[in-house]
Chains A and B, each alone.
Chain A
Amino acid sequence: MTHLDTDVLIVGAGGAGMYAAISAAREGAQRVLLLDKSLVGRGGATIMAQMTVAAALAEESDDDWTRHLDDTLASGRGLCDEALAAILCEEAPIRIREMGGWRVGWARRDTGRIAQVTAPGHSRPRCCYVDFLNTGPAVAATLRRQVSRIDAIRRLSNLTVTDLVTADGAVVGAIALDTAAGLPVTIAAKATIIATGGLTRIYQRNSASANMGGDGYALALMAGARLVDMEFVQFFPIGHLAPRLVGMDPIMWDPFRYKLGGRLLDGAGEEFLARYGSDESDAYTTPRDIATHAIVSEVAAGRGSPHGGVFLSFEHVPAIELRAAFGPVIERLAQNGIDLARSTVEVSPIAHYHMGGIAVDERMASELPGLFAAGEAVGGANGANRLSGNAISEALVFGARAGASAATAKPVSRWHDGAAAEAVDRIRALADGRNGDECATVLLDELRALMGEAVGPLRDAEGLRYALARLGEMRAALPSLAIAAGRECNASLADWFELRASLVAAEAVTRAALARRESRGAHQRTDFPDADAALARRQSVAMDRNGAIAASFGR
């Protein structure tokens, strides 16, 4: 069996993980191990970001980070962890300029200034980007290039971490499934950083990559760490719905709304946002939580578009302006049979980002010694509703912090093989395949449908209780599920571990959603439609020794 030994282990190689690796090496870590279940720097959410990055660079206005913080806190609907939000806003300009120095290619005005646009929820033009729809791929490619230049960083692809290993209450490493070989790998680490991104893949309609199944939350919970804000799943309001659009991320319409406005219309072709208290007559200003709530409410009232969303129209925009704003994307749309000058498209909310995550301090240290978190896996900074543009900023800022903290942390406990035995044996036993009536691949499909229906943008107690019951049945079925034979690249085996993690993450979301008997930000209860001032505080989710998951408003 392969055993690896490292100073800093980073689980997940998107923006947060790669930045953490760079930062850990910069702070003196001699051996940094950067893992990804997909290919390093290819999977995850960062590479898919087609929109903008928020940072108070003050290139186009009299901005400073405290104003960015004000907007972040307002968007968070009273729930942000202010210390984390302040770190995010204060350090974002440092990271954005560092990325600029690494030639990420931020879009610039003719004057040479970095272009900054006003995304919804921002009081000033603050959001930079790489044209056209290239922010995420450019950030990922830039970080891949930096990572590859640092000898201290070792990269390994197709390793899925299945369990953290604890000894005397501290995280001392991890067990991974080498998916190519179907074999367990043990990894001793002085410090471990979870940078696995979020959980949007547990929803049927999502803008996620295949590896956003909530692994990081499950790993942390199972090891004994605490999660916060798990009920707050951000649904991106105008995810593409119809006609079928290939080769483009479903959230690609937003940057064009920044540039051109665009109109949201109900099934009868009427504007409707004003009915939900938002006025877009001058500009695109509706925050994500309000727009999502408005759209799903219109559809529920029978006023939706044919495929169950609403219409987005740029028909009023002159063709020359469309071409200037969309650039080469006009041709890609034409290949999909879409001509914005002549027709609308259908859009509807799509699971996009998770506000909840691992409880950490200002060093990105969890409450478990040896365990850190970075990026979307961190909970608290964005409260009940993330401000547009804060996700990449958070990946870079929290990645840099986590890497530095992990590099300088003093280990309090040491690896021993006995602590890893159960997880290693589990992989070995499952990898040989086994018969059964049901399989994880089918249950994952059911899980995504269930979460979309019962734990989506509109929730009530009845649906949440139904979801909990079914999640419990699926979790109980895990030990008897069928797994195909053949260790190498065994997709059925990988699905079993994904289902195991996704069920834990899904239950954490659902329990927190049931316990929060109010509506706030991204969490909207039809049976408790108003906010309750007494509930303007965070919930924790924890797992006990028997695997039972519970949410609570106390600590």
Chain B
Amino acid sequence: MNPKTARLRVRRGIADEPARYDEFAVPFEDGATVLDALIWIRVHRDPSLAIRYSCINANVCKECTIAIDGRVLYACTTRLVADKTMVLAPLPGKVRLRDLVAETRPPRERTP
């Protein structure tokens, strides 16, 4: 039996570069999350993919909030779906820094 895969279409680019999407196929395991897949992509396909996360699995830091199929969700608690393509974009309504990273730092916490 072929191992299952999940597919992610990920919005790429620095700042206000024109929209571009890269599609990745990732191995699907039961229970795996979108963040698991993004970390897998960074190691196995494209280390330059920019994502924001800190606590990895505990869902306490809330840094991995992105738009998944148009809904604002945590990448660390959203499950992958086998044989389906999910579309990922940075948080809407924020300045986009790169790929899936939006400017979520409070203004006073940014380097001048």
Question: What residues of A have a CB within 8 angstroms of the CB of B14 in the complex?
Answer: 486, 488-489
How distant is A11 from chain B, measured CB to nearest CB, in Å?
Answer: 15
Cα distance, A489 to B108, chains bound together (Å)? 19
Contact A38 B48 (CB under 8 A): no
Question: What residues of B have a CB within 8 angstroms of the CB of A267 in the complex?
Answer: none
Known A2-B111, A488-B14, A491-B50: A442·B57 in contact at CB below 8 Å: no
Cα distance, A135 to B18, chains bound together (Å)? 44
Known A48-B60, A244-B32, A247-B77: A39·B54 in contact at CB below 8 Å: yes
B-to-A contact residues, CB < 8 Å: 14-15, 29-33, 42-43, 47-51, 53-63, 74, 76-77, 79, 97-99, 101, 103-106, 108-112
Question: What residues of B have a CB within 8 angstroms of the CB of A492 in the complex?
Answer: 47-48
A-to-B contact residues, CB < 8 Å: 2, 38-40, 42-44, 47-48, 50, 136-137, 154-159, 178, 180-181, 185, 208-211, 243-250, 336, 439-442, 445, 484-486, 488-492, 495
Question: What residues of B have a CB within 8 angstroms of the CB of A208 in the complex?
Answer: 56
Contact B63 A491 (CB under 8 A): no
Known A441-B42, A488-B15, A489-B98: A155·B109 in contact at CB below 8 Å: yes
Question: What residues of A have a CB within 8 angstroms of the CB of B42 in the complex?
Answer: 441, 491
Task: Kindly report which residue of chain B lies nearest to residue A492, judged by CB atoms.
Answer: B47
* Contact pick for B54, options A2, A43, A244, A486, CB 8 Å: A43
18 contacts between A and B (CB under 8 A): A40-B109, A44-B54, A156-B111, A157-B106, A180-B103, A180-B105, A210-B55, A244-B30, A244-B32, A246-B57, A246-B76, A247-B59, A249-B58, A439-B47, A442-B43, A484-B48, A488-B97, A489-B98
Cα distance, A211 to B42, chains bound together (Å)? 16
Cα distance, A244 to B31, chains bound together (Å)? 5
Other A-B pairs, 8, CB within 8 Å; known A40-B109, A491-B48:
A42-B54, A43-B55, A246-B77, A247-B76, A441-B43, A486-B48, A488-B98, A492-B47
* Contact pick for A490, options B33, B48, B53, CB 8 Å: B48
**Cβ-Cβ contact count across A and B, 8 Å cutoff:** 128
How distant is B62 from chain A, measured CB to nearest CB, in Å?
Answer: 7
Cα distance, A484 to B76, chains bound together (Å)? 25
Task: Kindly report which residue of chain B lies nearest to residue A441, judged by CB atoms.
Answer: B47
Closest 10 CB pairs of A and B: A244-B31, A484-B48, A441-B47, A249-B58, A489-B98, A43-B54, A247-B59, A157-B109, A247-B77, A489-B50
Cα distance, A216 to B99, chains bound together (Å)? 29
**Best-surrounded residue of A38, A210, A211, A492 (most CB of chain B within 10 A):** A210
Question: What residues of B have a CB within 8 angstroms of the CB of A159 in the complex?
Answer: 111
* Contact pick for B57, options A156, A248, A495, CB 8 Å: A248
Cα distance, A137 to B59, chains bound together (Å)? 10
Question: What residues of A have a CB within 8 angstroms of the CB of B104 in the complex?
Answer: 39
Task: Kindly report which residue of chain B lies nearest to residue A439, judged by CB atoms.
Answer: B47
* Contact pick for A249, options B57, B101, B103, B109, CB 8 Å: B57
How distant is B58 from chain A, measured CB to nearest CB, in Å?
Answer: 4
Contact A491 B47 (CB under 8 A): yes
Question: What residues of B have a CB within 8 angstroms of the CB of A491 in the complex?
Answer: 42, 47-51
Question: What residues of B have a CB within 8 angstroms of the CB of A43 in the complex?
Answer: 54-55, 61, 63
Contact B60 A47 (CB under 8 A): yes
How distant is A33 from chain B, measured CB to nearest CB, in Å?
Answer: 11
Task: Kindly report which residue of chain B lies nearest to residue A210, judged by CB atoms.
Answer: B54
How distant is B51 from chain A, measured CB to nearest CB, in Å?
Answer: 7
Question: What residues of A have a CB within 8 angstroms of the CB of B60 in the complex?
Answer: 47-48, 136-137, 249
How distant is B22 from chain A, measured CB to nearest CB, in Å?
Answer: 13
**Best-surrounded residue of B32, B55, B62, B79 (most CB of chain A within 10 A):** B55
Known A246-B77, A489-B98: A42·B62 in contact at CB below 8 Å: yes
Contact A442 B63 (CB under 8 A): no
Contact A243 B50 (CB under 8 A): no
Task: Kindly report which residue of chain B lies nearest to residue A493, judged by CB atoms.
Answer: B48
Question: What residues of A have a CB within 8 angstroms of the CB of B109 in the complex?
Answer: 39-40, 155-157
How distant is B48 from chain A, measured CB to nearest CB, in Å?
Answer: 3
How distant is B100 from chain A, measured CB to nearest CB, in Å?
Answer: 9
**Best-surrounded residue of B31, B42, B60, B110 (most CB of chain A within 10 A):** B60
* Contact pick for A211, options B49, B54, B58, B62, CB 8 Å: B54
* Contact pick for B29, options A136, A181, A185, A244, CB 8 Å: A244
Contact B63 A490 (CB under 8 A): no
Cα distance, A301 to B19, chains bound together (Å)? 54
Question: What residues of B have a CB within 8 angstroms of the CB of A210 in the complex?
Answer: 53-56
Question: What residues of B have a CB within 8 angstroms of the CB of A50 in the complex?
Answer: 58
* Contact pick for A180, options B54, B61, B97, CB 8 Å: B97
Task: Kindly report which residue of chain A lies nearest to residue B79, judged by CB atoms.
Answer: A246
Contact A157 B33 (CB under 8 A): no
Contact B105 A158 (CB under 8 A): yes
Task: Kindly report which residue of chain A lies nearest to residue B55, judged by CB atoms.
Answer: A209
Contact A495 B47 (CB under 8 A): yes
